């Protein structure tokens, strides 16, 4: 069966510091991968998605970047964090080319920028 | 692009009552409509989904209905229980590279014992 791992689970970072969140998927090949952000008590905002290695699409302009160095690895980064980057970050995956576009989420990473 | 509106934003019901959450979508090409449940501090999890070739789908106490003509779909929870308390998100998707889902704003459901 497929599993998705995301880490770290929580982190507190000072303003201006870098960020790296990592996500890996197991049990599937060529998945679509996503990064979502959820501000406290708010909805799900799609930040980036990837349909293959090195292929990244950004949905909103921001202080963050994403990379996909391997088929099942997705990384969210920032060079200098802002207070507004605080939130719950969710990595997710789906089966590429599936008619049933179900997205499966990782357990999430709580980021607090202080 | 696709726009999904979800109502109400909060819903409080008594245990045992039914709860209904409604969503509308804008893109007539959308053909897949999942519902996610997110408990406090946890990840959203799929609870039920429906494709556009089906008008209704049921799974125990949960059902989803779809009206393609009106471009709206609804989640129905019967005999609500306290453990149904959570935030529920609807979403819509159409065939395209990346399989992206567009989510509604969420509904906070509170079931009072």
Three-state DSSP at B20 gives strand
Q: Which of A97, A101, A103, A104 to mutate to test the interface with B (most CBs of B within 10 A)?
A: A101
Could you report the per-residue pLDDT of A60-75, keeping only the tens digit for each?
Answer: 767 899 999 999 999 9
Maximum average pLDDT range among A37-51, A59-73, B59-73: B59-73
Report the pLDDT averaged over residues B12-23.
98
Looking at residue A110, its pLDDT comes to 96
Amino acid B78: pLDDT: 97
Considering only the beta carbons, identify the residue of A32, A43, A102 that sits closest to B46.
A102
Facing residue for A49 by CB, picked from B43, B91, B100: B100
Task: Band the pLDDT of A19: cuts 50, 70, 90.
Answer: very high
Calculate the average pLDDT of chain B: 94
Q: What CA–CA distance (Å, rounded) separates A91 from B5?
A: 23
Share of residues in chain B with pLDDT > 90 (%): 84
Q: Does B69 have pLDDT greater than 90?
A: yes
Size of interface A-B (CB pairs under 8 A): 55
Give the mean pLDDT of B61-69. 96
E-strand ranges in chain B read 4-7, 10-14, 19-25, 32-38, 45-51, 56-59, 62-67, 72-77, 86-92, 102-103, 107-112
Q: Can you tell me the mean pLDDT for B62-72? A: 96
Q: What is the mean pLDDT of residues B10-25?
A: 98
Q: Is B104 on the interface with A (CB under 8 A)?
A: yes
* Cα angle B88-B89-B94, degrees, rounded to a multiple of 5: 155
Band of the pLDDT at A79, cuts 50, 70, 90? very high
| Chain A neighbors of B45, CB-CB under 8 A | 105
Query: pLDDT digit string (tens) for A85-110?
Result: 999 999 999 988 776 778 999 999 99
């Amino acid at each position: 069966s497929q599993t998705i791992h995301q880490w770290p689970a929580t982190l507190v970072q000072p303003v201006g510091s870098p960020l790296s969140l990592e996500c890996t998927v197991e049990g599937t090949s060529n998945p679509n991968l996503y990064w979502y952000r959820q501000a406290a008590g708010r909805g799900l905002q799609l930040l980036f998605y990837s349909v293959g290695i090195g292929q990244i699409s950004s949905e909103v302009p921001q202080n963050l970047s994403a990379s996909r160095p391997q088929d099942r690895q997705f990384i969210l980064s920032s060079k200098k964090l802002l207070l507004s980057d605080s939130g719950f970050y969710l990595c997710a995956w789906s089966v590429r080319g599936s008619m049933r576009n179900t997205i499966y989420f990782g357990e999430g990473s709580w980021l607090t920028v202080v | 692009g696709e726009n999904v509106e979800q109502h109400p934003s909060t819903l409080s019901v008594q245990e045992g009552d039914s709860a209904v959450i409604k969503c509308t979508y804008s893109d007539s090409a959308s053909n897949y409509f999942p519902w996610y449940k997110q408990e406090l501090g946890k990840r959203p999890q799929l609870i039920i989904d429906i494709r556009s070739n089906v008008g209704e789908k049921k799974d125990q106490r949960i059902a989803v209905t779809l009206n393609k003509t009106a471009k709206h779909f609804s989640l129905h929870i019967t005999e609500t229980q306290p453990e149904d308390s959570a935030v529920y998100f609807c979403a819509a998707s159409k065939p395209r590279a990346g399989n992206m889902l567009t989510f509604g704003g969420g509904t906070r459901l509170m079931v009072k014992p």
